[in-house]
């Protein structure tokens, strides 16, 4: 028997204090609720709890364009009126509003995922958790779908310094388009996304036919689903595909995005998953005993998000939690029954057996083209921690980013997708 996993958990209360606006479905307060529930169940006693560092602009620019990072740094609700053109350019506004402390919010959730990856790289833990992370829609040069900085891409880039191959798994109800796009041309990252597809559901990508390109061909997997999928069909499909992927791809590390909008009753989602079904996927991935970085993601019925991520923290700790929620600051949100588990939903399951079987066969067929796990010539490993030797407030952030980007040209040329050089890589109608 393997001794228990060592777990690092990242949290900073400030991530829960920002406000997207009164009618916006994203409520960062769900992160406070999750953390308090984790504490109420005493789970903090079984893992190492860290406050993440605030990621430096230079770290964010490892994936994002310098001008975009600089703009996020500069913009505030007070200066909005002067920046109409740039807001449009960077897709900021309705879905991705500019609010007080936006940049610090990005620095914290991205810092958590980067720290998580570094602790895994240095073998300080077996599993690292950052529920504030998982903002999978953000693009290199723009915000998208409530996401500004793509912490997942930054975490994976960090893991690639130590691991030849990284597997990314996404169980958010939405397609993990930002992460897929970033690594669409490389075989060093395999992305696997299970999501609702069709009926103009956001973001509109994620057809089973989108499989990657160039070196990355067959290294992007999409599992498009219809409304109402239940625990049984989802977990069966998930286990079959993930088991095969791990067997063939032999990843050195796994990143698991646990968006909770795939749960029944989510304000934006349309699946029937119970928390047990969702957590079963986490349990299954943990069993491979491969270094594992776990993040949050979507989730818009906030009491259920807190329930789900608490149960999954317990799952990762091999700890079964009593169903009666212990008293905590947010107990009123779990009324009237104060129970941890939620039942599956009752939407009609539009995923017929034959539909799911066809999707499964298509995915497994594509996996047959992968003969063996691709190797990589490891290059000089850049340092984990970059401590800037300047006063943050004095230098022009533009210059700062530029300098560090030059310092850290580490990626292979085809390492990740460069939106500036290729605008037609997607094949919606193939």
Residues annotated in the binding site for a divalent metal cation, as ranges?
A: 172, 174, 261
* Residue showing the smallest CB distance to Zn ion in the complex: 298
Question: What is the nearest approach in angstroms of Zn ion to the Cβ of residue 266?
Answer: 9
Residue 403 Cβ, how far from Zn ion at the closest point, in Å? 35
- Judge whether 36 counts as a catalytic residue: no
Q: How far apart are CA 113 and CA 166, in angstroms?
A: 15
Burial (CB < 10 A; 0-12, 13-18, 19+), residue 403, is: middle
Contact 196, 347 (CB under 8 A): no
Total residue count of the chain as it appears in this document:
430
Nearest approach, Cβ of 95 to Zn ion (angstroms)? Answer: 12
State the nearest-atom distance from the C-beta of 298 to Zn ion, in Å: 3
Least separation in angstroms between residue 197's CB and Zn ion is 13
Q: How far is the CB of 353 from Zn ion (least distance, A)?
A: 26
Closest distance of CB 262 from Zn ion, Å: 8
CA distance 129 to 313: 8
Tokens found for residue 62: 């490892």
- Among the residues of 41-165, which ranges form H helices? 57-60, 66-74, 84-89, 102-121, 151-159
Order of strands across the sheet with 189-196?
A: 48-50, 7-10, 127-130, 292-295, 253-257, 166-170, 189-196, 220-225
Cα separation of 168 and 189, whole Å?
7
Q: Is beta strand 189-196 parallel, antiparallel or unpaired with respect to 127-130?
A: unpaired
- List residues forming the annotated binding site: 95, 145, 172, 174, 261, 300
Rounded to the nearest 10°, the torsion over CA 139, 17, 35, 338 is -110
Q: What distance in Å separates the CA atoms of residue 137 and residue 156, rounded to the nearest whole number?
A: 15
49 phi and psi, to 5 degrees? -105, 125
Please state, in angstroms and rounded to a whole number, the distance separating the CA atoms of residues 274 and 340: 11
Chain residues that interact with Zn ion, rule: CB under 5 A: 172, 174, 259, 261, 298
Q: Which residues contact 87 (CB under 8 A, 6 or more apart)?
A: 75, 80, 93, 98
Annotated binding-site residues for substrate read 95, 145, 300
Q: Which residue, 291 or 299, is less far from Zn ion as judged by CB?
A: 299
Structural contact between residues 174 and 195, judged by C-beta atoms closer than 8 angstroms: yes
Active-site annotation holder among 53, 64, 73, 137: 137
Helices (H) and strands (E) in the chain, counts: 12, 8
* CB contact set of 12 (below 8 Å; sequence gap of 6+): 51, 52, 108, 112, 132
The DSSP line for 210-261 is ----GGGTT-EEEEEE-TT--HHHHHHHHHHHHHHHHHHH--SEEEEE--GG
Q: Active-site positions? A: 137
């Amino acid at each position: 028997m393997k001794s228990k996993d060592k777990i690092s958990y990242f949290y900073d209360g400030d991530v829960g204090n920002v406000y997207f606006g009164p009618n916006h479905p994203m409520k960062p307060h769900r992160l406070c609720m999750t953390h308090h529930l984790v504490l109420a169940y005493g789970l903090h006693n079984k893992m190492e709890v860290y406050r993440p560092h605030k990621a430096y602009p230079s770290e964010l620019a490892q994936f994002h364009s310098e001008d975009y990072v600089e703009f996020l740094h500069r913009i505030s609700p007070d200066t909005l009126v002067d920046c109409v053109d740039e807001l449009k350019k960077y897709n900021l506004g309705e879905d991705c509003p500019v609010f007080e402390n936006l940049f610090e919010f990005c620095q914290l959730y991205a810092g958590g995922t980067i720290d998580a990856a570094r602790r895994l790289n240095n073998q300080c833990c077996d599993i690292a958790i950052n529920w504030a992370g998982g903002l999978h829609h953000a693009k290199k040069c723009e915000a998208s779908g409530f996401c500004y900085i793509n912490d997942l891409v930054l975490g994976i880039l960090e893991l690639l310094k130590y691991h030849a191959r990284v597997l990314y798994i996404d169980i958010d109800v939405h397609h993990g388009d930002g992460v897929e796009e970033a690594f669409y041309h490389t075989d060093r990252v395999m992305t696997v996304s299970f999501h609702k597809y069709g009926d103009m559901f956001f973001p509109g990508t994620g057809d089973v036919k989108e499989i990657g390109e160039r070196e990355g061909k067959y290294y992007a997997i999409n599992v498009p689903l219809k409304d109402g999928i239940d625990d049984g069909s989802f977990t069966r499909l998930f286990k079959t595909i993930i088991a095969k992927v791990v067997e063939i791809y032999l990843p050195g590390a796994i990143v698991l995005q646990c968006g909770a909008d795939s749960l029944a009753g989510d304000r934006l989602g349309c699946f029937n998953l119970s928390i047990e079904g969702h957590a079963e996927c986490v349990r299954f991935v943990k069993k491979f005993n491969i270094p594992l970085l776990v993040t949050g993601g979507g989730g818009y019925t906030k009491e259920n998000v807190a329930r789900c991520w608490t149960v999954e923290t317990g799952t990762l700790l091999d700890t079964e939690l009593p169903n009666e929620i212990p008293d905590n600051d947010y107990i009123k949100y779990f009324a009237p029954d104060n129970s941890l588990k939620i039942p599956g939903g009752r939407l009609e399951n539009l995923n017929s057996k034959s539909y799911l079987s066809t999707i499964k066969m298509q995915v497994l067929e594509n996996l047959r083209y992968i003969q063996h796990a691709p190797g990589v010539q490891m290059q000089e490993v850049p340092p984990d921690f970059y401590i800037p030797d300047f006063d943050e407030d004095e230098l022009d952030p533009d210059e700062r980013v530029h300098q560090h980007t030059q310092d850290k040209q580490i990626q292979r040329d085809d390492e990740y997708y460069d939106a500036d050089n290729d605008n037609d890589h997607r094949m919606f109608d193939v």
